[in-house]
Amino acid sequence: MQSSFENSIEHTAHPNSRQADSLPPTLSIIVPVHNGGEPFRQCLHSLSTVASKVLEIIVVDDGGTDDSSKLAAQMGARVIRLPLSGGPARARNQGAQVARGDILLFIDADVTLTVDTIEQVVATFRDRPHLAALIGSYDDAPGSANFLSQYKNLFHHYTHQTGWEEASTFWGACGAIRREVFGAVGGFDESYRHPSVEDIELGYRLKRAGYSIQLCKQIQVKHLKRWEVGSLLRAEIFYRALPWTELLWRDRQFKNDLNLSHSSRLSLILTYALVICFMAGWWWVSAWWAGIGISLILLGLNWSVYRFFYQKRGLLFTLRVIPWHWLYFLYGGLAFVIGTIRYHLYH
């Protein structure tokens, strides 16, 4: 794997040198954008409120055709325009190539942050000089009001808030890493040409190289993305689940954390057993009773998830979540099987 960042990074002072001098680390914010629209406008507004707290804000326009780069320049960001879209991995690497901060903070173009976000990132690296990278979390107030956006972004918040603090992956929506460490592992893998698992892949390489990644649950950003049925399923299956499956087999990273918890794996198996029972119920009535029993087990196994949604959005919202959550296990399982077959056919 080669990247433009790997080929041009300048290695400067040791990452701990500023800490040795008792100075807080400097921060470069890097934002890749491709036709960002209204969410990016809100992202830029939030960046303007933290500009005085960071060394620089770098926006990389990844072959866009709208006015994103113009708006970023008007806000005072350093803008890099790429003539053709090559994906967020390449765009982030291009931004990192020119960044001068001790810490690179990557955020997506559809999130907003606050001064607290910046101060917590800086404080974490200042207080933990041997920490290589950290990731944050979405907050519990997603920007888009429709059900799917609320469900998906709240579920992401829940997943991070209940995950292990010693993280096993990186996260491009709100992830910070020491510049020297980023250069040492070669940056993001630019073979990912769409928003995909390039951040997870970077995290796996960081862990394999012996670096530590901290999940800082208090460092939160707001996600503004509006999900619809088609966009959600397309992203979840083709840009996440399938490439992630192949990445899991490549690195053998089947760790009990985040979306790979034991309860999630068992729930996946049970949802397929539920489908089989209800299909068999057309011939054997007893299969319906077995399906009801499996449904109750699924409810109990994921009770903490549903309790979280009930506390946040109430009973009716939670009842709508349950079928989508079970569908998530179904298409995730199907993608895992397909991804596994593809991996073993071509490797």
Find, among 321, 268, 345, the residue nearest to 149 by Cα: 321
Element (H, E) at 62: strand 56-62
The number of C-alpha atoms within 13 Å of 109 and in the hemisphere containing its C-beta is 25
C-alpha span between 114 and 47 (Å, rounded): 8
Burial class (CB in 10 A: 0-12, 13-18, 19+), 213: buried
Task: Mark whether 200 and 303 lie in a shared domain.
Answer: no
- Is residue 20's pLDDT more than 50? no
φ, ψ for residue 219 (rounded to 5)? -85, 110
Task: Mark whether 298 and 164 lie in a shared domain.
Answer: no
- Is residue 44's pLDDT more than 70? yes
Task: Mark whether 204 and 275 lie in a shared domain.
Answer: no
Task: Mark whether 270 and 221 lie in a shared domain.
Answer: no
User: What's the confidence (pLDDT) of residue 139?
Assistant: 97
On whether residue 215 sits in a domain, the answer given is: yes
On whether residue 323 sits in a domain, the answer given is: yes
C-alpha span between 108 and 43 (Å, rounded): 9
Model confidence over 91-124: pLDDT tens digits? 999 999 999 999 999 999 999 999 999 999 999 9
Task: Mark whether 103 and 23 lie in a shared domain.
Answer: yes
Task: Mark whether 106 and 196 lie in a shared domain.
Answer: yes
**Higher-confidence position of 211 and 21:** 211
User: What's the confidence (pLDDT) of residue 133?
Assistant: 98
Q: For residues 164-178, give the mean pLDDT.
A: 95
Q: Work out the angle at residue 342's Cα, subtended by the Cα atoms of residues 340 and 345, and round it to the nearest 5 degrees.
A: 105
Q: How far is CA 71 from CA 37, 50, 77, 111, in A?
A: 10, 16, 9, 16
Task: Mark whether 183 and 301 lie in a shared domain.
Answer: no
Task: Mark whether 193 and 310 lie in a shared domain.
Answer: no
C-alpha span between 313 and 147 (Å, rounded): 10
Q: With contact defined as beta carbons under 8 Å apart, do 217 and 165 qualify?
A: yes
Domain span including residue 128: 4-227
C-alpha span between 135 and 167 (Å, rounded): 8
User: What's the confidence (pLDDT) of residue 41?
Assistant: 98
Find, among 204, 276, 245, 254, the residue nearest to 341 by Cα: 245
User: What's the confidence (pLDDT) of residue 168?
Assistant: 87
On whether residue 251 sits in a domain, the answer given is: no
Question: Tokens in use for 191?
Answer: 């073979």
User: What's the confidence (pLDDT) of residue 29?
Assistant: 98
The predicted model scores a pTM of: 0.90
On whether residue 65 sits in a domain, the answer given is: yes
φ, ψ for residue 266 (rounded to 5)? -65, -40
| Other Cβ atoms closer than 10 A to 88 | 27
Task: Mark whether 294 and 214 lie in a shared domain.
Answer: no
Question: The domain that contains 170 carries what CATH number?
Answer: 3.90.550.10
- Is residue 213's pLDDT more than 90? yes
Q: Work out the angle at residue 263's Cα, subtended by the Cα atoms of residues 174 and 137, and round it to the nearest 5 degrees.
A: 10
Task: Mark whether 87 and 8 lie in a shared domain.
Answer: yes
**Higher-confidence position of 197 and 264:** 197
Q: For residues 19-37, give the mean pLDDT.
A: 87
Instruction: Give the domain-ending residue among 227, 248, 269.
Output: 227
On whether residue 246 sits in a domain, the answer given is: no
> Under DSSP, is residue 221 helix (H, G, I), strand (E, B) or coil?
strand
On whether residue 70 sits in a domain, the answer given is: yes
Q: For residues 176-181, give the mean pLDDT.
A: 98
pLDDT band at 150 (very low <50, low <70, confident <90, very high): very high
Task: Mark whether 204 and 265 lie in a shared domain.
Answer: no
C-alpha span between 292 and 298 (Å, rounded): 10
- Give the helix ranges, DSSP H, for 22-164: 37-50, 68-75, 88-98, 115-127, 147-161
Task: Mark whether 263 and 221 lie in a shared domain.
Answer: no
| Other Cβ atoms closer than 10 A to 243 | 20
Kindly give the pairing relationship between strand 174-178 and strand 103-107.
antiparallel
User: What's the confidence (pLDDT) of residue 196?
Assistant: 93
* Number of domains composing the chain: 2
> Under DSSP, is residue 251 helix (H, G, I), strand (E, B) or coil?
helix
On whether residue 161 sits in a domain, the answer given is: yes
On whether residue 241 sits in a domain, the answer given is: no
C-alpha span between 245 and 239 (Å, rounded): 11
